[in-house]
Amino acid sequence: MAVKPGLLKAFAPRILTRMGETLIDAQFMKCPMPVLRAAKALRGMGPGEKLRVLATDPAALSDFRDFCKTSGHVLVATSETKGVFSFTIRRKAEESAS
């Protein structure tokens, strides 16, 4: 079965950067995809920069809490409005080479 070229783009997350904050729109993606997209974005960001992720999968709440706890990033804020969860994450400081 062939996939139409534009079809996959419809499901790709939108990534925007505004006023020092990067936004990933991962709505309608099933976990763990929102967390994986966030992890990829955070790798390309500087220490202390903020990432905001929008997701609709209720499992994202526990996934992002666990991700931040294990990775060292800070989950600054979470909210939910009409089924859309918003997660604001601050990238961790670089580890010093001892």
Active-site residue set? 31
The C-alpha atoms of residue 89 and residue 98 are separated, in whole angstroms, by: 26
SS3 31: coil
The C-alpha atoms of residue 34 and residue 44 are separated, in whole angstroms, by: 16
